[in-house]
Structure 1
Amino acid sequence: MPTSRFARAHLFVAVLALAGFVAVPDGSDLQLVWQVAVGWYAAAVIVAAVRHHGAPMRLFWWLIALGVAGNASGILVEYVLMRVEGEPGFPSWADLAYLSLYPTVAAGLLMLIRRRTAERDWSSIVDATTLTTGMGLLAWIFMIKPAASDPSIGLLGHVASVAYPVGDVVLLAMTIRMLLAGGGRNVSFRLICAALVTFLAGDTAWAVINQAGWEPGPLAHSLLADVFLSGYLLFAAAAVHPDVRSLPRAVAPRPARPSRTLLVLLTAASLIGPGLLIVQASRHEVADTLSIGVGCAVLFLLVVTRMSQLVTQLDVQTQRVRELAVTDELTGLPNRRAWNIELPRTMENARRTGSPVAVALIDIDHFKRFNDAYGHPAGDLLLKEAAAAWADNVRAVDHLARYGGEEFILLMPGTTAAQAHEIVDRMLQATPLGQTFSAGVATWNGDEATDSLIARADAALYEAKNTGRNRISHATPHPLPA
């Protein structure tokens, strides 16, 4: 879909905003105003775009706009608090504004995921949970646990410190879930994912910097802040793109079999726990055994669950292949291969019990003429409707199969010649579209070979066709051995 003027105008403003921000002196009032203005601009563009496009799921976009505006407002709140209080404590009202991004965006993403995945995709859920658990274990050891155990910040400080990495883990889980879903990914969808990845990358960069105790210089500080501005503007770009109208469209679940890339990622996530344990053991400072042990146990159970899903899928596919191997694709009846399996079984059972067996070969009359007059699609329809009508007029113990072309064959266990004639006649009367068939019936004598039985039914069929069609002929009885 072509890009609208609205989207092109936003792209122009976004490039100017990001490039110009780096040129603004770090730590200046203009830099602060620039950051807040970009966030508020992005939120305003989202609201205006939703109204302009008449896009579905307005609540989703309003939540995104609220989160972007709230996060940007944290910069302004922090500035005001510094002017009023000097150095604001932790946590402050600014942290509340910063943190507002997480619940609003998470609630919106949950709505979008439910709208796009009409069917429950358990494979994607397990894969997303595995990847999130691995990354969550890293977040717990390096960010959440240290923040929760810091005695200098008090209860509210602990809550705020933990809320940031927990919020990132939640957004990471939802991002992975969206990326693992099947179906098409339009431009608006990709821009939303890019915005989420950008925010997560910015938070991860700050976490690494804090862990390393590094103080970024003016340029590095500006570039890091520009990352978050990019996230704001990417959300707005997703809203203004014309593809936004098809964003909530339900998508089919992806194949349960993981791709090679996903398999590598799942393997890496599963090895995070053991890797952490090895690193700590090599340093003789194993301090997170409980956390790592629980993480490894959860990852192990997720891997077992995924393997169970794949085995179940393999069983279903194997059964489907078996069914296709013995099923005629057009009519849904058993095919000739299935017939060749069933006939010896039935005859062996009849040999043991002494019960009669009858076979009927059926050929639709003038089928080539019907095809030439009405076309092959009509011929296929005749075969399908005839097969369905005949199947409704045979007994549950009978075995009707497509023998090839317009020829069908019927196996009738425990049936005399007279009973077989009655069954085949019912089928003849039920033949649809005003068509008829010719049939040859042969009754087994309890000793002859299967090939001989079918050959006699075939001879009777040709007799029915040569004597005027639309009739049932019976084969000459096979003589018993002396």
Structure 2
Amino acid sequence: MSRARVDALIRLHLAVGVSLSVVCTLMPAGLWHDVLYTFISFGCVAMMVVGIRRHRPPASLGWWVVTAGIVVWAAADVLWAVYNWILHISPFPSPADALYLISYMVIAAGFWCFVRARRGEGDREGFTDAAIFTVGSVLVSWVLLMRPGLESAGESATERVLAAAYPLGDLLMLALLVRLLTTTGSRTPAFRWLVAGNALLLVADCAYQYTSMTETYTGGLITLPWLLSYVCFSTAALHPSMRRLTDIGSGETDPQFTRGRLLALTLASLVAPGTLLLQLALGLRVEAWAVGLSSVVLFLLVVWRMSGLLRRLDEQASRLADLARTDALTNLPNRRTSDAELERLQTRARAEGSPLCVAVLDLDRFKSFNDTFGHQAGDSLLVAASAAWKAHLDAVGAGAGPDRSVMLGRWGGEEFVVLLLGHDLPAAATLIDSLRPTTPAGQTFSAGVSGWDGLESAGEVFARADAALYAAKAGGRDQVRVADPPGPRSGEAPAPKVQPGAAAATEPVT
């Protein structure tokens, strides 16, 4: 079926469903009222089946379970109508009550399937947010529904259990609804219709329970949100976007802490003190234990939520620090990190009297390689070369001892830097030369190596290595050149060398 025909079917379904729901609400209570009510409810169930079978969503289990829950709810409505209008009895409790309670659990199970499919079962922040909102709702339900219901239920244990079971069923569905809202993922039209259906069902159910404590239920406006909930559930299943209900969304894997969520959590956290203040102001019965216990639980949940936020901030700060220190392509230390490490090693070399050398490596004819094979192949060469060089340097330096260290970093483009602490100039040049056979894809590199004289700045010792690199390129590439020693500074004698034997290692290593 084309998209236009699907849209037309949805519009027709909404028009018919809403119109019949309004007509049913305005009809006086009676057999024909309940016949129309049953027609609407099971007609919407049929539309849900049509939508699921037509669109075949990847995670169909949740849709089928929710549909089964709606069927059980509608069957309970039918059974209640049979008792009332055909058998002319009103048993309480009755099998209809059992069906209603079962439907709560089944619909909630369907929503849990959606939560899991949207990868929400391991989401600590989303679970905590849902728990905060649910605890606040439990207090409101206790004050408005559960306690008054228990007091008006009489002495029968079964009646008292049911008086508490119905509000608990609503709270279960509310908890799963909020949990679904706190998952990350696409907010498709089907998602919004599904949420609306659950919300309308809860509104009607709570209104019915509150009304039943003071008067006999005779239909009226409370019927409308019940019927519209059926229409919303079926519209969600008919909409093509129901296939994308379990999509994670635009690359998001973490729940977003928006202002709307912050406002909702703030209001939920204020439910307990707000309830207490309202009861005191109106001279109502103070629910001290309920308010006290919910306040403790809410406080602990908020602390837990804050610890999660702090943990996430620490992780994000750590990731940002890694990004600032690391080259994104090769995962090697970047230029900024290499600069800082060279200055740190200079301080250590001066304190320990250890030799320190700097090598600069440059892949030969890298631009031609890129032009011939493409930039993606060039990136792959950079990654493979850096990995091969690092593996070789790590293997050679594995048993070198604590007084030696070797760090490979990416300076930029096809240029790399190697910092060698504890290696004199001949040893450093030999080690860099040993990297040549490990270079992948038959490629070669040129390199320049300089030894620090104990007085040069980081920029000066690197500049001499860079000059030696360009000398190696000018001399035919695929070789390692040792930099000339630094000349004497004006007004002072030549500085003594930190590395023994460094002055002799000025010939090219080929």
TM-score by length of 2: 0.86
Structure 1 position 313, deviation (Å)? 0.8
Give the direction of change, closer, same or farther, for the CA distance of 1:239–1:34 in structure 2 (3 Å limit). Answer: same
Whether the 8 Å contact between 2:448 and 2:466 is mirrored in structure 1 is yes
Q: Please, which moves more after superposition, 47-56 or 66-75?
A: 47-56
Which of 18, 22, 26 pairs up with 2:21?
18
Matches within 5 A, 1:329-348: 329-348=328-347
1:254 CA displacement: 5.5
Note if contact 1:90-1:153 (Cα within 8 Å) is conserved in structure 2.
no
Cα offset, 1:385, TM superposition: 2.2
Aligned-partner Cα distance in 1 for 2:443–2:60: 58
Q: Does the 8 Å CA contact 1:119/1:253 hold for their aligned counterparts? A: no
Tell whether 2:455 aligns with 1:457. no
Match for residue 98 of structure 2?
Answer: 96
Alignment of 1:326-475 (within 5 A): 326-395=325-394, 397-475=405-483
Q: How far did 1:86 drift?
A: 4.6
Match of 1:231 among 226, 229, 232: 229
1:395-421, CA deviations, whole angstroms, 9 ceiling, x for partnerless residues? 352111122222211101100222212
SS in 2 for 1:399: strand
1:306 maps to 305
| Match of residue 499 from structure 2 | none
Q: Do structure 1's residue 196 and structure 2's residue 176 form an aligned pair?
A: no
Partners of 2:360 and 2:470 lie apart in 1 by 10
Partner residue in 1 for 2:130: 128
State the match for 2:273 in structure 1.
274
Question: How many angstroms apart in 2 are the aligned matches of 1:87 and 1:41?
Answer: 27
Q: Is the 8 A contact 2:364 2:446 kept in 1?
A: yes
Distance of aligned partners of 1:95 and 1:481 in 2 relative to their CA distance in 1, 3 Å threshold: closer
CA contact (8 A) 1:192 1:235 kept: yes
Decide which moves more: 197-206 or 302-311: 197-206
Gaps of 5+ in 1: none
State how 1:42-191 maps to structure 2 within 5 Å. Answer: 42-57=44-59, 59-82=61-84, 86-117=88-119, 120-150=122-152, 152=154, 154-191=156-193
Choose the corresponding residue for 1:40, options 26, 39, 42: 42
Secondary structure of 1:243's aligned partner: helix
- Of 179-188 and 41-50, more deviation after overlay is shown by 41-50
Shift of 1:127: 0.7
Do 1:102 and 1:171's aligned partners in 2 also have CA atoms closer than 8 Å?
Answer: yes
| Conserved 8 A contact 2:120-2:184 | no
Secondary structure in structure 2 of the residue aligned to 1:140: helix
Say if 1:460 and 1:54 are closer, same or farther in 2 by CA, change over 3 A. Answer: closer
The answer to whether the 8 Å contact 1:441/1:475 transfers is yes
Q: Gaps (5+ residues) in structure 2? A: 398-404, 489-493, 497-510
1:198 partner letter: L
User: What RMSD in Å do the two structures reach over aligned CA positions?
Assistant: 2.6
DSSP 3-state at the match of 2:152: coil
- Contact 2:167 2:206 survives alignment (8 Å): no
Residue 87 (structure 1) shift:
4.8
Which stretch has the larger CA shift, 328-337 or 58-67? 58-67
Amino acid at match of 2:281: S
Question: What SS does the corresponding residue of 1:392 show, helix, strand or coil?
Answer: helix
Aligned-partner Cα distance in 1 for 2:412–2:426: 26
1:320 Cα deviation from its structure 2 partner? 1.3
- State whether residues 361 and 407 of structure 1, in contact with CA within 8 Å, keep that contact through their aligned partners in structure 2: yes
Q: Secondary structure at the match of 1:332?
A: coil
Q: Amino acid of the residue matched to residue 299 of structure 2? A: F
1:296 and 2:282 correspond = no
Displacement of 1:81: 2.6
Aligned residue identity for 1:45: M
For structure 1, which segment, 375-384 or 177-186, has the greater mean C-alpha deviation from structure 2 after superposition?
Answer: 375-384
The answer to whether the 8 A contact 1:359-1:412 is kept is yes
Aligned residues: 477
Shift of 1:45: 3.0
Structure 1 residue aligned with 2:504: none
CA contact (8 A) 2:186 2:247 kept: no
Shift of 1:9: 5.2
Q: How many Å apart are 1:253 and its aligned residue? A: 5.8
- Where in structure 1 do 4 or more consecutive aligned residues deviate above 6 Å? none
